[in-house]
């Protein structure tokens, strides 16, 4: 990958409405384990919060590797995606942008 291009991460949507984020991605972009999710066009934007005090979605550790998950179905379209999706950090908007 060339210098200056955004790094593409991968997240997973389950058929039960969960969002799974790998440990490294969660640690880098969501260190407080709290986020807000909003649909923007054909993307789901995940914005980190400074802590869980203000509400939002809480990321819970799901395995010994430190992967995180949260129930996200309420923020998804009526025909939610299932499976892995590419995600790119958008520094100018402070959001992890996930392709739906």
For the chain, what percent of residues have pLDDT higher than 90? 74
Separation CA 86–CA 18 (nearest Å) = 16
pLDDT band at 50 (very low <50, low <70, confident <90, very high): confident
Domain ranges of the chain: 8-99
At 52-94, the pLDDT tens digits run 777 789 999 999 999 999 999 888 878 888 999 999 999 999 9
Per the CB < 8 A criterion, the answer to whether 57 and 36 are in contact is: yes
Report the predicted TM-score, pTM, of the whole model to 2 decimal places. Answer: 0.88
Helix (H) or strand (E) holding 97: strand 95-99
Separation CA 19–CA 83 (nearest Å) = 10
Mean pLDDT score of the chain: 89
Residues found in the chain: 100
């Amino acid at each position: 990958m060339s210098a200056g291009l955004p790094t593409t991460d991968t997240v997973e949507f389950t058929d039960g409405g969960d969002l799974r984020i790998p440990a490294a991605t969660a640690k880098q972009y969501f260190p407080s384990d709290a986020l807000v999710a909003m649909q923007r066009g054909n993307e789901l934007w995940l914005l980190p919060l400074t802590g869980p005090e203000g509400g939002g979605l809480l990321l819970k550790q799901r395995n010994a590797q430190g992967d995180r998950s949260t129930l996200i179905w309420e923020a998804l379209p009526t025909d939610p995606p299932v499976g892995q999706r590419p995600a790119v950090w958008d520094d100018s908007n402070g959001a992890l942008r996930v392709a739906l």
